[in-house]
Amino acid sequence: FESRLLDGLHLLITAGPTREAIDPVRYISNHSSGKMGFALAEAAAEAGARVTLVSGPVNLRTPDRVQRVDVVSALDMLTACEAALPADILIASAAVADYRPAHVSDSKLKKTDDNQQGMRLELVRNPDILATLAMHPNRRPGLCVGFAAETHDLLRYASDKLQRKNLDLIIANDVSQRDIGFNSDDNRVTLLSRQQAPQHLELASKASLARHIIRIIGEHIGRTA
């Protein structure tokens, strides 16, 4: 693997899920394992980049030569990413919770007579970390890469996100397919960019796909090893 491809560049990457507290013992989250993000962080470090990996709660070993910052909520993740700027490349692979509880209770919520039948939880929108950083007026990373995980109309939604979030590249992931995606060691993705036709990458291990994606990112910033 081209060990000098990203030499001298700072790559910022988000990975894993976020957890949004309801009370001291409960939270809202999702099934993201963080595997694709950690594989990309490892491949980028192997390619010579200085890597900052901002990770939600996951059960994974930190790759060698990667600076890992652990966070819990989407708001923490945004703060940690802003603190890590400037970056030459941003890859947003985290499955950030779109909403968080409007109020976090200081004490454990109890079942009471008033909520015998059920209860309502009020949610507010979380910031879009990727869009926020990709729109940053003076500190936008040189190349911004997002993920689109969809169950239908994959390429249409992905190309819409590419435009709307001001990205250079988007990695589209069909999460309706059972053999790939969440917690799997393999993945199959399509890369969309602003200039080129969609590039379909065959089913492969996340480690091997990550190297392939890092190579394509290298080409996008004019590097070839």
Least gap, CB of 132 to ligand C5P (angstroms): 8
Contact between 148 and ligand C5P per CB under 6 A: yes
Q: Quick check: 19 and 73 in contact, CB under 8 A? A: yes
Establish whether 161 is an annotated binding residue: yes
Establish whether 108 is an annotated binding residue: yes
Residue span binding ligand C5P (CB under 6 A) among the ranges 57-65, 124-132, 187-195, 212-220: 124-132
Q: In one letter, which amino acid is 51?
A: V
Taking Cα atoms as reference points, which of 46, 214, 26 lies closest to residue 121? 26
The number of residues that bind ligand C5P (CB under 6 A) is 15
Measured from the CB atom, the residue of 2 and 29 that comes closer to ligand C5P is 29
Establish whether 111 is an annotated binding residue: no
* Environment class of 212 (CB within 10 Å of its CB; exposed 0-12, middle 13-18, buried 19+): middle
Contact between 126 and ligand C5P per CB under 6 A: yes
**Measured CA angle at 118 (ends 112, 119), to 5 deg:** 80
Positions marked catalytic: 30
CA dihedral 139, 140, 141, 147 (to 10 degrees): 140
Contact between 39 and ligand C5P per CB under 6 A: no
Contact between 147 and ligand C5P per CB under 6 A: yes
Establish whether 110 is an annotated binding residue: no
Contact between 214 and ligand C5P per CB under 6 A: no
CB count in 10 Å sphere of residue 118: 5
Measured from the CB atom, the residue of 48 and 220 that comes closer to ligand C5P is 220
Least gap, CB of 35 to ligand C5P (angstroms): 14
Tokens standing for 198? 């969609």
Whole-angstrom distance, CA of residue 16 vs CA of residue 11: 17
Residues 6 or more apart from 205 whose CB is under 8 A from it?
A: 185, 186
Binding to ligand C5P (CB under 6 A) within 59-88 occurs at 74
Contact between 213 and ligand C5P per CB under 6 A: no
Contact between 161 and ligand C5P per CB under 6 A: yes
The sign of the CA dihedral 208, 209, 210, 212 is: positive
Establish whether 130 is an annotated binding residue: yes
Binding residues for CTP: 98, 108, 127-130, 147, 161, 165
Interacting residue ranges for ligand C5P, rule: CB under 6 A: 14, 74, 92-94, 96, 98, 126, 128-130, 146-148, 161
